[in-house]
């Protein structure tokens, strides 16, 4: 009996000690209730946030779909360009800038062809596979010729990056070419001729034939050469890659024009630009740019010598053009084309030989 009573007293003492510890260190019933209520409010707030976010995404998706359907139903003639809202810091301002640039200048480089611009929601991800898949789907749904989306990554000379898909040349939406154009990210660097530069670079994606001046009449190329010359003089905020592209396109267009009308001033401008370009060539320069510069310089010197003969200029032209030919001979694509051409010539010769044999001796 005594032992049992002692055990009971020990258990009771231990229970009371535990109870006192719980009361001292653990929340009471009222506090537990308050804590539970607070947690319920937090969970409700999280749920409400998720619902609002989902509703916002759904609404955005529905608005995009409605806008795309309306764009598709339009039967207005001309090029159809869909512009997505840019992302990144200052996205709204950049969106307005891009739309204004296209409205003001794109038809200039499409030689007056009608243009219809449409707006759509932002596309995140640049040219990663998921972003491209979404872009192709939206391009097909809108039956647009080109879809453009952009993001601002920073204030550098390539801080405003424009991505796009173009069906230029009659491509299907699933065949549309992806491209990237890097413009300056600073607001004051996008002034002056930069809207025109952006429109021209996008026009080249929309109409690939612009890269080949011989595809157009000289009078049209004269207007383009004049515009390119002005852009080249006033686009010092653009990246070096864009300036090189503008210079190459101006020189190719100007030579095409001058070969027809013999404009010596235009030829002198090309000769000066290409000589400076070749003088500044270094080991990091793209060989294709060097070959193009030599080609332009050689053609310009020959065109000038046609109007005012200069044997030294002709010899210099031959030297530059010979280097271009040597560079092309080493190009694997050119070598394959030459091999195929030789094989075709042999096949045609074989057919002609067989025909002559049949006529003279019978089959």
pLDDT at position 2 over 60: no
pLDDT at site 348: 66
Q: What is the mean pLDDT of the chain?
A: 80
Helices (H), 264-331: 264-279, 287-307, 311-329
pLDDT at site 19: 54
Judged by DSSP in three states, 300 sits in: helix
Percent above pLDDT 90 for the chain: 28
pLDDT at site 157: 83
Percent above pLDDT 70 for the chain: 72
pLDDT at position 204 over 80: yes
More confident call, 346 vs 146: 146
Q: Give 220-246 pLDDT, tens digit per residue.
A: 889 999 999 999 998 888 888 899 999
| Mean pLDDT in residue range 109-118 | 84
| Mean pLDDT in residue range 63-70 | 56
pLDDT at site 177: 94
Contact in structure between 150 and 162 (CB atoms under 8 Å): yes
pLDDT at site 350: 65
| Mean pLDDT in residue range 334-353 | 66
pLDDT at position 58 over 70: no
pLDDT at site 62: 46
pLDDT at position 59 over 60: no
Band (52; pLDDT cuts 50, 70, 90): low
More confident call, 27 vs 221: 221
| Mean pLDDT in residue range 303-322 | 88
**DSSP assignment letter at 167:** -
Helix and strand counts by DSSP (H, E) for the chain: 11, 5
More confident call, 255 vs 33: 255
pLDDT at position 201 over 70: yes
Contact in structure between 294 and 255 (CB atoms under 8 Å): no
In 10 A of CB 171, how many CB atoms? 14
| Mean pLDDT in residue range 152-181 | 90
**DSSP assignment letter at 26:** S
Which residue do the tokens 């090189």 mark?
244
Contact in structure between 288 and 327 (CB atoms under 8 Å): no
pLDDT at position 354 over 80: no
Cα–Cα nearest to 165, from 194, 199, 193, 202: 202
Q: What span, in angstroms and rounded, lies between the C-alpha atoms of 62 and 58?
A: 6
């Amino acid at each position: 009996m005594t032992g049992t009573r002692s055990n009971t007293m020990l258990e009771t003492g231990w229970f009371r000690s535990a109870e006192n510890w719980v009361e001292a260190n653990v929340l009471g019933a009222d506090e537990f209730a308050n804590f539970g209520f607070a947690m319920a409010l937090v969970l409700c707030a999280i749920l409400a946030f998720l619902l609002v976010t989902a509703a916002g995404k759904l609404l955005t998706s529905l608005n995009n779909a409605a806008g795309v359907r309306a764009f598709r139903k339009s039967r207005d003639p001309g090029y159809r360009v869909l512009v997505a809202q840019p992302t990144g810091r200052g996205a709204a301002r950049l969106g307005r800038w891009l739309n204004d640039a296209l409205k003001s200048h794109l038809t200039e480089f499409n030689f007056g062809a009608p243009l219809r611009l449409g707006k759509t929601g932002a596309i995140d991800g640049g040219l990663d596979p998921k972003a491209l898949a979404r872009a192709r789907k939206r391009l097909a749904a809108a039956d647009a010729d080109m879809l453009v989306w952009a993001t601002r990554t920073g204030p550098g000379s390539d801080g405003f990056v424009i991505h796009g898909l173009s069906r230029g040349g009659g491509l299907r939406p699933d065949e549309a070419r992806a491209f990237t154009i890097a413009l300056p990210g600073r607001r004051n660097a996008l002034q002056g001729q930069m809207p025109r530069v952006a429109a021209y670079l996008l026009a080249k994606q929309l109409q690939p034939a612009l890269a080949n001046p011989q595809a157009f009449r000289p009078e049209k190329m004269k207007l383009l050469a004049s515009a390119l010359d002005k852009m080249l003089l006033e686009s010092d905020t653009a990246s070096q890659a864009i300036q090189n592209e503008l210079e190459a396109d101006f020189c190719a267009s100007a030579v095409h024009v001058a070969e027809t009308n013999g404009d010596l001033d235009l030829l002198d401008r090309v000769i000066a630009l290409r000589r400076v370009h070749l003088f500044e060539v270094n080991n990091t320069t793209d060989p294709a740019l060097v070959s193009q510069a030599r080609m332009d310089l050689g053609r310009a010197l020959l065109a000038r010598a046609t109007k005012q003969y200069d044997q030294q200029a002709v010899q210099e032209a031959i030297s530059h053009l010979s280097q271009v030919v040597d560079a092309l001979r080493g190009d694997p694509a050119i070598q394959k084309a030459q091999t195929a051409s030789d094989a075709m010539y042999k096949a045609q010769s074989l057919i002609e030989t067989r025909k002559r044999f049949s006529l003279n001796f019978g089959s």
